[in-house]
Structure 1
Amino acid sequence: MQLTPQQLKDFDELGYLFMPECFNAEEVALLKQEASNVLAQQRPEIWREKNGAPRTAFAAHTYNDACNILASHPRLVKPLQQLFGEDVYVHQFKINAKAAFTGEVWQWHQDFPTWHADDGMPDARAMNIAVFLDEVMPINGPLMLVPRSHKAGALKSEHDLETTSYPLWTLDQPTVTEMVEKNGIVTPTGRAGGVLMFHANLVHGSAGNITPYPRRIVYLTLNSVSNAIAKPTRPEFIAHRDFTPVKPVADDALQRYIGKKAA
């Protein structure tokens, strides 16, 4: 999948692109089932909310076949190769599970400051590309983005070790207020199967989920091979040390896997 000139222009201007229904119903059903299987496991790669509900399952592509295919899927990999103009490798793969009724917040932050401070990533030449596994609605803790905030570069962040079970380099309220007053807030919503990609310095966060509707999202973080991390401080399952370029699989790889499982 290649981005159009208009999509490239929009990404440069806004710092994000939302592409609804990138994955079909069969592919989504498979990914939802496999995500449920992953989140039900007791593994060190699966971090939990303070109440015990799964929050983030890291590195599922290393032990789940469907996730492994997704981590090399051309609908996710090729747009980033196009944007960066070079090969990419998997810096991080995670399933974020915002549970019904109890899903906690993700504080306001940019991704690059965490990758830089905790992993030694030199520059903001990495990006999250998100796949919706559930319908993301205005009410169930959607990701909130501040358009154009990536143009401000990496902002001063503080290490928040208390708000949630996951440590994060976060932005203070005056900084967020300034960014929002200039640029507003958008909340991309849509059916399962949609794909959202956003710049490593785009300001974003999400509120808690007190609805009966869960909100699971796969985040594939791809980094330019020329931008490999130099001083990782986090476990390998959070910040990978294998810098081998991703080789995209066939576009119908998930469909083939569905057929193989049904045989």
Structure 2
Amino acid sequence: MRLTDAQLKEFDETGYLFLPDCFSDAEVAVLREEAEKIYTEDREEVWREKSGAPRTAFAAHTYNEAFRRLGAHPRLVGPVCQLFGEPVYMHQFKINAKAPFDGEVWQWHQDYGTWARDDGMPEPRAMNIAVFLDEVMAINGPLMFIPRSHKSGVLEAGHDVQTTSYPLWTLDKETVTRLAEEGGIVAPTGKPGSVLMFHGNLVHASPPNITPYPRKIVYLTLCAVSNYIRKPTRPEWIAHRDFTPITPLADDALMELAEAKRQAAE
């Protein structure tokens, strides 16, 4: 899949791009089923809220076949390679949950701020490309972006290790207020199978989920191979050290797995 000139312009101007209907219901069903299984496992890669509800599962592409295929899917890898003009590797892979009633906040932050400070990533030549596994609504903890905030560069941040179960380099209220006055705040919503890609410096957050409706999103953090991390401080399953360029699989890789599961169930 290649982005159009209009999409490339939109991404440059706003810092994000929303791609609806990128994956079919059948493809998403396989991923959602596997995500639920992973959340029940007792693994160090699965972080939980203070309530015990799942918060995020790291590195699923290294131990789960469905997510291995998603991590090399051409509909995700292709557009990022196109934007960077070179091959990419997997810097991070996570399945974020906003569990019904128990999904906690993700504070205002820039992802590249963490990648630079904690992992020694030289430049913001990495980005998240996200796949909705559930319907993302205005009420169940959607991602919130400040459009055009990626043009502000790397902002000063403090290391918050208290608010939630996951430490994060967060922005202060004054900075967020100033940026929001300049660019506003948007919360892209859509059905399962929709895809969001956003710049590593785009300021974003998500509110708690106090509804009965789950909100699971898979994030591939794809980094230009030349921009590999130099000084990692986090575990390998959070910030990967394998800088091998991703070789995209066939476009029907997930459908092939879905069909195999269907046949096995008969």
Q: Name the TM-score class by shorter chain.
A: over 0.9
Q: Deviations over 1:179-224 (max 9, x none)?
A: 0000000100000000000000000001000000010000000000
Q: How do residues 198-217 of structure 1 correspond to structure 2 at under 5 angstroms? A: 198-217=198-217
Q: How do residues 171-182 of structure 1 correspond to structure 2 at under 5 angstroms? A: 171-182=171-182
Q: Distance in 1 between matches of 2:206 and 2:262?
A: 37
Q: Distance in 1 between matches of 2:55 and 2:8?
A: 32
Q: Distance in 2 between matches of 1:250 and 1:57?
A: 25
Q: Which amino acid aligns with 1:22?
A: C
Q: How do residues 37-116 of structure 1 correspond to structure 2 at under 5 angstroms? A: 37-116=37-116
- Please state if 1:169 is matched with 2:178: no
Q: How do residues 113-262 of structure 1 correspond to structure 2 at under 5 angstroms? A: 113-262=113-262
Q: Distance in 1 between matches of 2:27 and 2:257?
A: 10
Q: CA deviation at 1:259?
A: 1.7
Q: Distance in 2 between matches of 1:112 and 1:50?
A: 26
Q: Distance in 2 between matches of 1:260 and 1:25?
A: 16
Q: CA deviation at 1:261?
A: 2.3
Q: Deviations over 1:102-156 (max 9, x none)?
A: 1000000000010001111110000000000000000001000000000001100
Q: CA deviation at 1:40?
A: 1.1
Q: Distance in 2 between matches of 1:24 and 1:208?
A: 27
Q: Deviations over 1:25-65 (max 9, x none)?
A: 10011111011111111100001101111101000000000
Q: Over aligned residues, Cα RMSD in angstroms? A: 0.5
TM-score (norm 2): 0.98
Q: Which amino acid aligns with 1:206?
A: S
TM-score (norm 1): 0.99
Q: Deviations over 1:229-252 (max 9, x none)?
A: 010000000000000000000000
Q: Distance in 2 between matches of 1:18 and 1:161?
A: 31
Q: Distance in 1 between matches of 2:243 and 2:223?
A: 9
Which consecutive residues of structure 1, in runs of 5 or more, have no partner in the other structure? Answer: none
Q: Secondary structure at the match of 1:178?
A: helix
Q: Which amino acid aligns with 2:38?
A: V
Q: CA deviation at 1:257?
A: 1.0
